[in-house]
Amino acid sequence: MIIRRIWPDPLELFAPNDHPLLCKRGAIAVRALEPLRLFFANASRRGLNGHVVHFCSSAGFTPNVVQEAVDGGAILGLVAAGFGVAVLPKCYGQIVVRDVVQRTLSSAKAKSHICLAYNQDRTSDQLMRFVAVGSGSATAD
């Protein structure tokens, strides 16, 4: 299995627009997440969720995960309804959800990457062209 990082995508806090944590301007300290009700996308402690748990742990606390959902859109709906907050890659901000605000987290560990994974033993010309485009190494014909 080959895994290539395509681009970095910082993790951000997604919260209802009236959340008290948003009263101050600037980045949000990871430690400020400790008392909050968090939602996770994907019912897994691997990948992104495992990373969030790890960087919260390195800040000295275990996140209070109250709900896990299949996808980020569902999580943003729960955030919009005021049930809690979420830590998701910045790209989720492209899903426009009314009354949800995203804010930068101050931790250098609050980052993720969009990756491309493929089986090196099962390639085709089409796959390798796709890998080249995703890796930014494609040439014009």
pLDDT tens across 83-141, in order? 999 999 999 999 989 999 999 999 888 888 888 888 888 888 888 888 788 666 654 44
Determine the distance from the C-alpha atom of residue 69 to the mean position of all C-alpha atoms in its chain, rounded to a whole number.
13
**Spatial contact of 17 and 101, defined as CB atoms under 8 Å apart:** yes
Give pTM, 2 decimals.
0.82
CA distances to 88, 96, 100, 117 from 54, rounded to whole Å, are: 14, 28, 25, 23
How far is it, in rounded angstroms, from Cα 51 to Cα 19? 24
